[in-house]
Amino acid sequence: MTVPLSPPSRIGFVGLGSQGGPMAERIAKAGYPLAVWARRREALDPFVAIGATAAPSVSALGAACDLVGVCVVDDIGVAAICDDLIPAMQPGSLLVIHSTILPESCERLAQRCAQRGIGFLDAPVSGGGPGAAAGTLTVMCGGDAEAFARATPVFRTFCGTLVHLGPAGSGQRAKIVNNALMAANMGLAHAAIAAGEALGIERSALGELIKASSGRSYGAEIYVRLPTPQAFAIGAPLLVKDIRLLASVLPDHAGATTLRDAASAFLAAATGQDI
């Protein structure tokens, strides 16, 4: 089913957490008419205060909008939202998945959307809540070029770097690899600081040195700011999820195994569970 696609003007957003919330806020502040939905009605209040409309249901939001972004935590959450959303969306509208989920899940969603004449992009993001608030997120997109071009003005409200990587699922594959590397870098920093302490080097001094030297990485910079691995308790489960997603799509692959092994000691210390 092919339907002419026009630039989006009515935006919907589901998933108003620490990252999705600032993304939605930047969309609204850029002047786009925005509809939002959340299970907790009180979560909508800050968005209504800046001019967004509180949708009574996921299906009502889908029916009223020509681009809908979804930024919930995992495959189960995305599936539940999309089961209500896709049947309500109009032909010619566009569904964007900002969550980090299995690439195969996005491929299946793209097929469902195509059957109804709905455009589809998987567009996971990197940069966290601070990046979303500052408008500097990296957005990694999978989907066709026309859908990507249509969504680009909306993405530009909250991103600094925007990359189209290929067909549906490509954004997820890139995001999983990126986050696995982030986890591995934090794991290597964990090992390096422990080695330094074993040699009698004070932790904070070594951390400052690494940040300015050849061993530096973004993961190491975050790690050396932590008083303990447990202080990363909010972010660590998300990295565990992404390490496991990579293992799922690349079972027994040497690169995936190397990344998991490098990250495992740190993530186990941060979460209290084996990886």
Per residue in 20-40, pLDDT tens? 999 999 999 999 999 999 999
- Does domain 174-271 sit in CATH 1.10.1040.10? yes
Active-site annotation, residues: 175
Tens digits of residue pLDDT in 92-106: 999 999 999 999 999
CB of 122 closer than 8 Å to CB of 99: no
CA 124 to mean position of chain CA atoms:
4
- Numbered ranges of CATH 3.40.50.720 in the chain: 11-167
* pLDDT of 1 higher than 70: no
CA 196 to mean position of chain CA atoms:
34
Q: Confidence class of residue 7 from pLDDT cuts 50, 70 and 90?
A: low
Give the integer Cα–Cα distance in Å for 32 and 37.
16
- Numbered ranges of CATH 1.10.1040.10 in the chain: 174-271
Q: Which CATH superfamily is domain 11-167 in?
A: NAD(P)-binding Rossmann-like Domain (3.40.50.720)
Give the integer Cα–Cα distance in Å for 81 and 96.
12
CB of 19 closer than 8 Å to CB of 123: no
Q: In the prediction, which pLDDT does 275 show?
A: 81
Length in residues, the chain: 275
Q: Global pTM?
A: 0.92
Q: What does the mean pLDDT of the chain come to?
A: 95
